[in-house]
Amino acid sequence: MSSLHSLRLASLVEGTSLLLLLLIAMPLKYGLGLTIAVRVAGTVHGLLFLVLLSVASRAYFERAASTRSLLRVLGLSLVPLGFLAAERLLRRDADRDPPTTG
């Protein structure tokens, strides 16, 4: 799997975990008093964010994406639904630089 494809996947999974944290776990905590929901979802989201950082650094060192694109992806990961814009940006980068065979 190319590092750019890995970055797209990591961004999608991390962004989904942020939405689950905000839209499911937090209402469970504040609506029903289930603090464990935020503890579990927050931990999973934090680990997935670390995975995203790791994959982004791999993509940087392999020059799979421009520095500007990587910074934008990381910035968009802080915004709910930002992963959708990051997906579009990374897909555009993938289309611009097709993988080399060899």
How many domains would you assign to the chain?
Answer: 1
Range of the domain at 49: 3-96
* Residue 102: inside a domain: no
pLDDT of residue 101: 45
State pTM to two decimals. 0.86
Instruction: Compute the distance between CA of residue 62 and CA of residue 48 in angstroms, rounded to an integer.
Output: 21
Torsion angle, CA of 21/24/44/74, rounded to 10 degrees? -30
Amino acid letter at 35? T
Output the pLDDT for position 83.
92
Q: How confident is the model at residue 74 (pLDDT cuts 50, 70, 90)?
A: very high
Q: Within a domain: residue 69?
A: yes
Tell me, yes or no, whether 75 lies in a domain. Answer: yes
Which pLDDT value is given to residue 92?
85
Convert the pLDDT of each residue in 37-63 to its tens digit.
999 999 999 999 999 999 999 999 998
Residues 6-21: tens digit of each pLDDT: 999 999 999 999 999 9
